[in-house]
Amino acid sequence: MKRYLSKILNVFLIILLLVVLVGCGKKTPPQAPDLLTDVSRRTFNYFWEFAHPETGLVLDKYIDQSVASIAATGFGLAALPIGVEKGWITRVQGKERALKTLDSFESGLVEGKNGFFMHWVNWRTGKGVWDREVSSIDTALFIAGAIVAGEYFGGDIKERAEKLYKAIDWQWMTDDGVTLRMGWKEKEGFTNDRWGDRFDEGLLATLLAMGSPTHPISPAAWDAIDRSVVQTNPHTGETHIALEAETLFVYQFPLIFFDLRNTADRHGIDYFENAVKATKYNRDYTMKTHADKYGVYGEVWGLSAEDKPYGGYHAYGARDGNNDGTIAPYASISALPFLPEEAMAAVKAMVNNFPQVYGKYGFHAGFNLIVKGGPWYSGNYIGIDQGAILLSIANYQSEMVWKYFMQNPYVLEAVRLAGFDRYQ
């Protein structure tokens, strides 16, 4: 009898051990607030691991293992203070990376003209690739990140960041006009489009150009921005100044750096509240207006520029004819400062319900559950999306990016010239 009981006990212990081992093999998604820490850490690792070890230039996309984006590099610079404060890297490591990166630009390694830099460059040589366009907005995103790093680390890093800012000839980029051209190419010259022809992320470049201590453009550029397109949310009755395509990132990117909460410019416009309303519109478009199409996503929303299913890239938005069911994960995560509860619900839902979209470096660059041949999940990560996620979480949790960026005297001069009452 004892021998029989012993056998039963042994079998029971084996079964118990197997259950424990299987349970240990499952990865239970972390929940808030640990969830945001997990997202931030994974996303930070993109910038830490995919900056070239010699130049500091950050990959534009995970799938293009040789092409860097100067905008992604700017986000990478702003990511360094976050990594230091979180304890993921040491302050010495952060300073070394920042100095190496800034030296690549200051030394002339990164190709450009008149203080502006090419949008895409080889991450090892700094030479322009693809369309070889000198980009005003991507230079602005780079210098914004450099300012954050400079204000945080101080010393040589601050000096180099400001030297690069002062070297940008913003007046040249106006092409004898009032507003900035979007870019310039060697053969074609300046692009036809200007920042200000519509309401978009060009707010960032315009403000930085106005605040320049060396080559500022006229404050009239701020007044020249087209604010005539107005969108009405049918579910709330709220209106906001809009980009017709309703691509969400255009409202978010300038406010990742500029702290425009609780302030209005000389036109009486509160751009933070405008972004809040645009974000609500984007969410309501999927979850209410087109619930029949997007209901399969549950609490997940976010229509913005992103990878297209099975190849390509598109600036999706909350406008009929400008979406195909593709969700941009970064769009809702970057909305944490604007719609915290709704954004957090989307983050949790993506991690818990669609684990294919959450990987080693955080959230992938899009997914589509309803596309023909789907569901489709991008295996890509995009540098500027990663930056928007990481910096937006930092602002949501501690206002960190806003704090350091808004310390810069030239940034303060920019918002003063635009007439923001809080900064007068």
Which string of DSSP letters, residue by residue, matches 160-186? HHHHHHHH--HHHHTTTSSSPBSEEET
Please check whether residue 405 is in contact with residue 144, taking contact to mean a CB–CB distance below 8 angstroms.
yes
Q: How confident is the model at residue 31 (pLDDT cuts 50, 70, 90)?
A: low
pLDDT at residue 307, rounded to an integer = 96
Q: What mean pLDDT is predicted for residues 268-282?
A: 98
pLDDT at residue 5, rounded to an integer = 41
At position 254, the amino acid (one-letter code) is P
Judge whether 190 lies within some domain: yes
pLDDT at residue 33, rounded to an integer = 58
Judge whether 256 lies within some domain: yes
d(CA 330, CA 346): 10
Q: What mean pLDDT is predicted for residues 170-175?
A: 98
How many CA atoms lie within 13 Å of 374's alpha carbon, on the beta-carbon side?
A: 17
Is residue 15's pLDDT more than 80?
Answer: no
- pTM, two decimals, is 0.92
Is residue 340's pLDDT more than 90?
Answer: yes
Judge whether 23 lies within some domain: no
Judge whether 21 lies within some domain: no
Judge whether 4 lies within some domain: no
pLDDT at residue 244, rounded to an integer = 98
Please check whether residue 49 is in contact with residue 62, taking contact to mean a CB–CB distance below 8 angstroms.
no
Tally the domains of the chain.
Answer: 1
Please check whether residue 152 is in contact with residue 405, taking contact to mean a CB–CB distance below 8 angstroms.
no
Q: What mean pLDDT is predicted for residues 233-261?
A: 98
Is residue 7's pLDDT more than 50?
Answer: no
pLDDT at residue 32, rounded to an integer = 57
Judge whether 26 lies within some domain: no
Give the pLDDT confidence of 67-100 residue by residue, as tens digits: 999 999 999 999 999 999 999 999 999 999 999 9
For the residues of 208-276, what is the DSSP string, one character each? HHHH-SSSPPPTHHHHTS----EEE-TTT--EEE--TT--THHHHHHHHHS--TT---TT---HHHHHH
Q: What mean pLDDT is predicted for residues 325-337?
A: 98
Question: Angle at the Cα of 97 (from 93 to 102), degrees rounded to 5?
Answer: 150
Is residue 36's pLDDT more than 90?
Answer: yes
Report the percentage of the chain scoring pLDDT > 70: 92
Can you give the CATH number for the domain in which 107 is found?
1.50.10.140
Q: How confident is the model at residue 193 (pLDDT cuts 50, 70, 90)?
A: very high
Please check whether residue 388 is in contact with residue 253, taking contact to mean a CB–CB distance below 8 angstroms.
yes
Q: Please, what's the b/e burial string for 251-261 (b: 16 or more CB within 10 A of its CB; e: otherwise)? A: bbbbbbbbbbb
Side-by-side strand order, sheet with 116-118: 112-113, 116-118, 134-135, 183-185, 189-190
Report the percentage of the chain scoring pLDDT > 90: 92
pLDDT at residue 30, rounded to an integer = 61
Judge whether 243 lies within some domain: yes
d(CA 274, CA 346): 21
d(CA 281, CA 300): 14
- Residue whose C-alpha is closest to residue 302's, from 361, 220, 365: 365
What average pLDDT does the chain have?
93
Record the tokens describing residue 408, joined without a space: 């810069």
pLDDT at residue 6, rounded to an integer = 47
Compute how many other C-beta atoms are within 10 angstroms of the C-beta atom of residue 223. Answer: 16
Is residue 26's pLDDT more than 80?
Answer: no
Give the DSSP letter of residue 22: H
Please check whether residue 327 is in contact with residue 257, taking contact to mean a CB–CB distance below 8 angstroms.
no
Q: What mean pLDDT is predicted for residues 173-193?
A: 97
Backbone φ and ψ of 9, nearest 5°: -65, -40
Q: How confident is the model at residue 13 (pLDDT cuts 50, 70, 90)?
A: very low
pLDDT at residue 228, rounded to an integer = 98
pLDDT at residue 23, rounded to an integer = 39
Give the DSSP letter of residue 187: T
Judge whether 103 lies within some domain: yes
Per the structure, the complete domain to which residue 341 belongs is given by: 33-423
